[in-house]
Structures are given as C-alpha cells and as structure tokens.
C-alpha cells in the first residue's frame, strides 16, 4: 500500500478538487441526452446564479481522463471511460465544485486579479529561463484550443476552491495516526495452502448452455458499428526547401523540446518539423476535399466499417451525426481521412451458435469458481498450511507457487480482510491462509513514512468534510441539470 501511495502520491487528491484546467489531448466529449433549449445550449448545468459552461465541463472531462490515464500508466481508452461512466462522474464533480464556489460567494470569499497574475507568473509551464514568458503562455493557450480569458477565469475559480480547501483542512490527530499505522503498516505471519482445479474437471453440457442462453439472450449482443464512405489524403510529397522549414520552425518551435523541456534547435528538430509541415500542407488539401465531398462533388474512394470498440478511430465523433453527414478531416498516422456516415449497424442479439462460445466461457468460469469455493471451504475447517513467515503490504516477489502478480493480489486481499482464516480464488486455484501472528513494522520504517501518512490522513478527512458539506449545500442551492451524461 505504501509503495502504491508513493508511486501515485501526486494523484492522491480529493476527487472534487480536480482542476478545471488541463492541457491534455484527451478530447472533448460528445453530447447524448442534452437539452438544447436556446437559453441552455451553452451550459450543462446551473447552480444558483453560477452557470457551468459546456467548455468548462469538457476541460474537466479532459483532466479526469488524463488523471485516470496516468493512474493506469497510459492504459486509459474511451471504451474504459464509457464503461466507468466517466461523463456522469465528471458532471457530478463539476456540479459539486460549483456548489462549493456558490458557498464561497455567500461567505464573502473572493479571488483578486493580483492572485491570478501571481499564479500565472509562478507557473513553471509558462516560464523561460526561470521567468514568466508571455509568448510561452499564449502559445500554450493557443495549442490547447482555449482562450486566455477562459483559462484565467478557470484559474480564478481554482484559487477560490483552494481557499475553501485551506479553511476545511484539519491536521491528523495522534489517535488517527496510530489507527492508520496499525491498519496500513501491519505485517502478518501466514500459513498457506494452494488448491488447484484442472480445467478438465469443469464440464458444461448442451442443456446447461441452452438454459443459460434462454435466460440471458439480451446479454449477448453484436457490437454496434458504423459503415463509412471515405476519402484519404496522404502526407504531402511536395519538394520542401530548408527556408520553408525554418520559417515553420520559428512559428512552432515551442512544440519541439527535449526530455528536459529545453527547446530543440532547428537541426535537432528538423525531422519532426518536416513531418509536421507536410501534415499542414496535407490539411489544406483535406479541407478542400472535405467541402467537395460534403457537396457530393467528389466521389468516395473507399469504405470502412468502424466498431464502437475501435480505439484507433474517434468513434465519439460518429455518435452525434446523422446518416449522410460528413465529418471534417481526421488526422491519421500518414495523412487525413474524410468520412461520411453511410449506415449505423445497431447492436442486436446474437444467434445461439454465435453466442455459444461466449456462453461456454462464462459458464465454465462460474462453475470453476463455485467448485473451488466448495473445495476451499471444506478444507478450511481443519486447515494446516505451510508457514511462509511474515508478509506486509510492502512485500514483493513470489509467494509459494504464485507468480509476482498473483502474490501481490493475494497479499492485498489478506490485508483488506479481517478474518483469521480465509481463502482467495485466483484463476484456477484457491489460496487458503491462516494468520498465525501479527506485529507492526519496525519503528524506523514507520518514521520513514510519517509525511506520507500525514498527507493521506489529511486528504481522507478533507474528503469526508467536503462530501458532507456538499450534501448540506445541495439543500440550499437550486441545481438545474441540462445534460445528463452517458
């Protein structure tokens, strides 16, 4: 746990306070159940007199996406975002933020222009040689496709939220520290045994499969997809001289930096500069073709079927257009693609034969778990395992016949439960264990984590206070929600 907290320390923040501003390329969201009343079209919600604009919502969404992407070591996808209901999470968060801002208004808290200015000039992202650089600032704003005024308004809100946060901040008590240490820095001496289940023992017959199919037909659907008419525009092959590239480099040089953040000179960046310049040339042609294609003055050169799980294509863009509509050029690895929506293939129940492989997999997995549970439960009563010594949340490496990943999963399970005897099922095996002895980690290790422990206790307390405050304030301020989220 401590290792996890250290690795993700910068992400251990109270969710409600995630910044409104984010320079990330997570993309903006499409709109589903949205109320397009002319008075509401620019907002997703309203709290008291404060409106939550579409752009503000999109920026918070982008920041949340980036937050989870970092947590997953770059493994976040739009499909995962949809599965976890990210749009609704963001909507609730931004409404909660605005409720807190309304409370700040009520108690007379304000953000001054000087505070915004000081925050800007002290932001390393906008500095050059240690000093605030106006060109760097405006280039970053331009690159993020937002206006400086909107960024500074968002910053104003963020400063105000920070003021409230400071007011609500409580220091950890001695008792809280002791409680946290005893729960997080304990080590257990374990006896374990592993029961295996051979896959050949798990048998599912045709009768079971068909019975399951009859009850769960609607769970096995084909994947929704889109048929597209397309035109592609390759990367420009025009002969380019150094003079053209140098002019382009001077305009965009803030985009070419070393890993240390230093701007590369023209020679160092030339390969990337040329590629970006060719993309720019291709974009002009792509826009011209887009206009012709949109007017049906240019014929389709290809067709494409895109499934909703296709992470190589911005599927979200297709959710909000009608059949026959054309999207603006989409950048690809080797140029641009222009697409017209030809047909929507909605998800439909699969036939029994097509669903059967998935049903068999599901039934075998369920049977395997049930059989392992029965075996483990029966053996647990008179359990005598092998003493493996002490383990803690910090333990790494293999335990018995488990690999490192399984060992980590098992250890976390042990410390997340309060039973002396229990078992954990992982794959085709059940790991039985008994806690023989418990004790705290060495005092030196505990002292090593003092700052981390204090930070986490403070954040947990603050989170609780924030949530309780929001619940109370929701009864005080009128919340109008125009967009429901997907």
Give the pLDDT confidence score for residue 298 in this predicted structure.
Answer: 92
Q: Which helix (H) or strand (E) holds 28?
A: none
Nearest C-alpha neighbor of 32 from the set 319, 439, 421: 319
pLDDT in tens, the chain (486 residues): 444 444 444 333 333 334 434 333 333 344 333 344 444 557 888 998 898 888 888 888 888 888 888 777 777 888 788 878 888 888 998 999 999 999 999 999 999 999 999 999 998 888 888 888 888 888 888 777 778 888 888 889 989 988 988 888 888 887 877 777 666 677 889 999 999 988 788 888 899 999 998 888 888 888 899 999 999 999 998 899 989 999 999 988 888 888 777 888 999 989 999 999 999 999 999 999 999 999 999 999 999 999 988 878 888 889 889 999 999 999 988 899 999 999 999 988 889 999 999 899 889 888 999 999 999 999 988 888 999 999 887 788 888 888 998 998 999 899 888 889 999 999 889 999 999 998 876 666 666 677 777 877 888 888 888 889 999 999 999 988 887 666
What are the percentages of helix, strand and coil residues in the chain, rounded to 5?
50, 20, 30
Q: Partners of 195 in the beta sheet?
A: 430
Give the pLDDT confidence score for residue 34 in this predicted structure.
Answer: 38
Give the pLDDT confidence score for residue 445 in this predicted structure.
Answer: 64
What is the SS3 assignment for 128?
strand
Nearest C-alpha neighbor of 456 from the set 100, 69, 181, 161: 181
| Dist. CA 389–CA 424, nearest whole Å | 18
Give the pLDDT confidence score for residue 44 in this predicted structure.
Answer: 87
| Dist. CA 352–CA 346, nearest whole Å | 18
* pTM for the predicted model, two decimal places: 0.48
Backbone angles phi, psi at 442, to 5 degrees: -55, 145
| Dist. CA 137–CA 127, nearest whole Å | 8
Give the pLDDT confidence score for residue 442 in this predicted structure.
Answer: 64
- Domains within the chain, CATH numbers bracketed: 2-172+449-481 (1.10.4030.10), 186-216+351-440 (no CATH), 223-345 (3.10.50)
Q: How many CA atoms lie within 13 A of 388 on its CB side?
A: 24
Q: Which two tokens stand for residue 9?
A: 């320390």
């Amino acid at each position: 746990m401590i290792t996890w907290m250290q690795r993700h320390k910068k992400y251990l923040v109270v969710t409600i306070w995630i910044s409104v501003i984010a320079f990330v390329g997570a993309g903006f969201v499409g709109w589903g159940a949205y109320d397009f009343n002319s008075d509401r079209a620019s907002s997703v919600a309203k709290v008291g007199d404060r409106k939550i604009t579409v752009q503000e919502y999109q920026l918070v969404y982008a920041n949340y996406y980036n937050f989870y992407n970092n947590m997953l070591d770059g493994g976040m996808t739009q499909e995962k975002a949809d599965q976890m209901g990210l749009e609704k999470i963001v909507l609730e968060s931004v409404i909660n933020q605005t409720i807190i801002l309304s409370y700040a208004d009520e108690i007379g808290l304000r953000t001054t222009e000087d505070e915004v200015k000081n925050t800007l000039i002290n932001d390393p992202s906008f500095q050059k040689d240690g000093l605030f650089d106006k060109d760097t600032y405006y280039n970053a704003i331009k690159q993020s496709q937002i206006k400086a005024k909107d960024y500074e308004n968002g910053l104003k809100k963020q400063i105000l939220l920070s003021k409230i946060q400071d007011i609500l901040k409580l220091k950890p008590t001695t008792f809280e520290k002791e409680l946290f240490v005893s729960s997080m820095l304990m080590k257990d001496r374990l006896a374990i045994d592993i029961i295996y289940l051979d896959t050949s023992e798990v048998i599912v017959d045709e009768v079971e499969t068909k019975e399951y199919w009859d009850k769960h037909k609607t769970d096995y659907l084909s994947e929704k997809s889109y048929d597209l008419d397309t035109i592609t525009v390759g990367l420009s092959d025009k002969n380019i001289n150094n003079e053209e590239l140098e002019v382009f480099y001077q305009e965009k040089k803030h985009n070419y930096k070393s890993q240390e953040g230093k701007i590369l000179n023209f020679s160092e960046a030339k390969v990337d500069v040329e590629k970006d310049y060719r993309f720019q040339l291709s974009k002009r042609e792509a826009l011209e073709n887009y206009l012709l294609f949109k007017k049906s003055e240019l014929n389709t050169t290809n067709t494409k079927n895109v499934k909703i799980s296709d992470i190589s294509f911005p599927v979200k863009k297709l959710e909000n257009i009608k059949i026959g509509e054309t999207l603006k050029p989409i950048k690809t690895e080797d140029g641009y693609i222009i697409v017209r929506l030809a047909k929507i293939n909605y998800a439909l129940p699969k036939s029994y034969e097509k669903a059967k492989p998935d049903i068999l997999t599901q039934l075998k997995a369920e049977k395997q778990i049930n059989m392992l549970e029965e075996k483990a439960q029966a053996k647990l009563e008179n359990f005598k395992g092998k003493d493996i010594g002490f383990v803690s949340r910090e333990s790494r490496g293999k335990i018995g016949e488990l690999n490192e990943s399984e060992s980590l999963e098992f250890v976390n399970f042990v410390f997340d439960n309060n039973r002396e005897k229990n078992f954990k099922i992982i794959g085709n095996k059940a790991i039985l264990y008994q806690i023989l002895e418990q004790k705290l980690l060495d005092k030196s290790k505990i002292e090593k984590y003092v700052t981390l422990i204090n930070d986490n206790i403070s954040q947990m307390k603050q989170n609780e206070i924030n949530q309780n405050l929001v619940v109370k304030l929701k009864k005080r301020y009128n919340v109008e929600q125009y967009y429901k989220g997907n």
